[in-house]
């Protein structure tokens, strides 16, 4: 059984306007996505701004209440948990935030920031808690002498280490990493990436790693889910992702990431997408990607294709596209007839969908 199971997760934010603040529409931030994460594995959630990746992370932890769907953590229904059950669950499920400046209280000493989860969950005596804080500081590459200092005395990378220490305080099993390295300089970013890898090894942690930087996501993840406008359009083993992407958005995204190697860069062909991402308040009908897709045909405008299994036997590869890219004997081609998996599911979902 997977450690984390997410089924048909939805999060719609109401748009209120007018004097009466009536709801006049919705932002479809996360729209019916499903995924699972195995114990000890890292799932990368990648996509551009506004694709719903951070909202997904927050909804899984119930930091924002989902509009629909289910989240199961180690057999427990997270969505149905009461306040006290939720508090228990939060020990197991922690989060590291993007901005190491905004996520640490500037008025508190580091020992209080890291020790706070222990106090809230009433763990240990004061003395034990202090020792645990020292231990955590060492774990993340800081030292006990840092405990008395305030966040402003640290550089960005060191602050992110404090954020990591705080997340580890309760011995969690799952950590949602929400863009934890995006605000950091290259050399410091690599330090934190290595730290996260080491901690995962030592503590058998499971990560959901959310980021917009595809090379970082691919580096850290075992499996990658690519999101676009609130939907997962492709999931794949990260080893396969670069070589055999099937969704046209994944292909464009991969081709847009510059690779720090001049010869490779000169040899690459870039797929440039036209226009901007549509507003999630008014997503296109049918496949959310079709207005920017060069392969779009009539069927693409009718219903969102379902995420369906694809690729070779034994590969964990899913794609939500009627005309995915096919690879045979190293040759790349685009499916000519609609992909059955996507088709069958789409009909079914159109049938179930109330709107």
189 binds another protein, rule: CB under 8 A:
yes
1 binds another protein, rule: CB under 8 A:
no
177 binds another protein, rule: CB under 8 A:
no
Cβ-proximal residues to 114 (8 Å cutoff; 6+ apart), any chain: 133, 136, 137, 147, 162, 165, 166, 169
**Window contacting another protein (CB under 8 A); options: 15-23, 79-87, 114-122, 180-188:** 180-188
Bridge partners, residue 73, by sequence = 4, 76
The contact mask relative to another protein for 274-313 (x = CB under 8 A, - = no) is --xx------------------------------------
Q: What are phi and psi of 85, to 5 degrees?
A: -65, -40
The contact mask relative to another protein for 18-57 (x = CB under 8 A, - = no) is ------------------------------xx--------
Nearer CB in complex with another protein: 220/287 = 220
As a whole number of angstroms, the distance between CA 120 and CA 124 comes to 11
332 binds another protein, rule: CB under 8 A:
no
Nearer CB in complex with another protein: 21/269 = 269
Q: Residues in contact with another protein, total (CB under 8 A)?
A: 44
**Window contacting another protein (CB under 8 A); options: 27-35, 60-68, 124-132, 188-196:** 188-196
Bridge partners, residue 226, by sequence = 46, 234
State the nearest-atom distance from the C-beta of 221 to another protein, in Å: 10
The secondary structure of residue 151, as a DSSP letter, is: G
Strand segments (E) across 90-190: 93-96, 174-178
As a whole number of angstroms, the distance between CA 320 and CA 343 comes to 9
Angle between helices 156-168 and 186-203 (to 10 degrees): 20
As a whole number of angstroms, the distance between CA 278 and CA 50 comes to 10
Nearer CB in complex with another protein: 126/198 = 198
As a whole number of angstroms, the distance between CA 48 and CA 211 comes to 9
Nearer CB in complex with another protein: 72/158 = 158
**Window contacting another protein (CB under 8 A); options: 24-32, 37-45, 254-262, 328-336:** 254-262
Return the residue of 270, 285, 316, 332 that touches another protein, per CB under 8 A. 270
> 192, 163 in Cβ contact below 8 A?
no
Nearer CB in complex with another protein: 73/154 = 154
State the nearest-atom distance from the C-beta of 149 to another protein, in Å: 14
CA angle 280, 37, 183 (to 5 degrees): 60
Query: How much is the CA Rg of the chain, to the nearest whole Å?
Result: 22
What is the greatest pairwise CA distance in the chain? 68
Q: Which residue has the tokens 């990260």?
A: 238
Q: What are phi and psi of 64, to 5 degrees?
A: -135, 140
Return the residue of 1, 125, 152, 260 that touches another protein, per CB under 8 A. 260
Structure tokens belonging to residue 104: 């640490």
191 binds another protein, rule: CB under 8 A:
yes
259 binds another protein, rule: CB under 8 A:
yes
The secondary structure of residue 314, as a DSSP letter, is: T
151 binds another protein, rule: CB under 8 A:
no
Nearer CB in complex with another protein: 135/265 = 265
143 binds another protein, rule: CB under 8 A:
no
State the nearest-atom distance from the C-beta of 181 to another protein, in Å: 10
Cβ-proximal residues to 7 (8 Å cutoff; 6+ apart), any chain: 34, 69, 70, 71, 72
Nearer CB in complex with another protein: 123/190 = 190
Nearer CB in complex with another protein: 54/67 = 54
- Site residues, another protein (CB under 8 A): 48-49, 155, 157-158, 185-191, 193-194, 197, 212, 214-216, 218-220, 239, 242-243, 252-265, 270, 272-273, 276-277
């Amino acid at each position: 059984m997977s450690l984390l199971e997410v089924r048909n997760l939805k999060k719609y934010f109401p748009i209120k306007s007018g004097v009466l603040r009536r709801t006049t529409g919705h932002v479809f931030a996360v729209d019916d996505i499903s995924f699972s994460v195995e114990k000890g594995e890292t799932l990368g959630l990648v996509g551009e701004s506004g694709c719903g990746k951070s909202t997904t992370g927050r909804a899984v932890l119930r930091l924002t209440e989902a509009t629909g769907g289910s989240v199961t953590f180690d057999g427990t229904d997270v969505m149905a948990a009461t306040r006290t059950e939720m508090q228990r669950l939060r020990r197991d499920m922690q989060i590291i935030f993007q901005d190491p400046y905004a996520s640490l209280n500037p008025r508190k000493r580091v020992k209080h920031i890291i020790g706070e989860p222990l106090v809230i969950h009433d763990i240990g005596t004061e003395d034990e808690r202090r020792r645990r804080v020292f231990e955590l500081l060492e774990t993340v590459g800081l030292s006990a002498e840092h405990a008395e200092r305030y966040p402003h005395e640290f550089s960005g990378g060191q602050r992110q280490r404090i954020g990591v220490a705080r997340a580890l305080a309760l011995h969690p099993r799952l950590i949602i990493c929400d863009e934890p390295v995006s605000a950091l300089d290259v050399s410091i970013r690599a330090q934190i990436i290595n730290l996260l890898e080491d901690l995962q090894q030592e503590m058998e942690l499971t990560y959901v790693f959310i980021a917009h930087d595809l090379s970082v996501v691919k580096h850290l993840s075992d499996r990658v889910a690519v999101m676009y406008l609130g939907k997962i359009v492709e999931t794949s083993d990260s080893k396969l992702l670069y070589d055999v992407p099937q969704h046209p958005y994944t292909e464009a995204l991969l081709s847009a990431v510059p690779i720090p190697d001049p010869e490779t860069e000169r040899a690459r062909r870039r797929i440039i997408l036209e226009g901007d991402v549509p507003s999630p308040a008014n997503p296109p009908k049918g496949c959310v990607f079709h207005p920017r897709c060069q392969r779009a045909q009539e069927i693409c405008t009718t219903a969102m294709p379902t995420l369906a299994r694809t690729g070779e036997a034994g590969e964990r590869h899913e794609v939500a596209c009627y005309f995915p890219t096919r690879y045979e004997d190293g040759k790349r081609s685009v499916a000519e007839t609609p992909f059955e998996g996507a088709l069958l599911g789409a009909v079914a979902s159109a049938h179930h969908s109330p709107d």
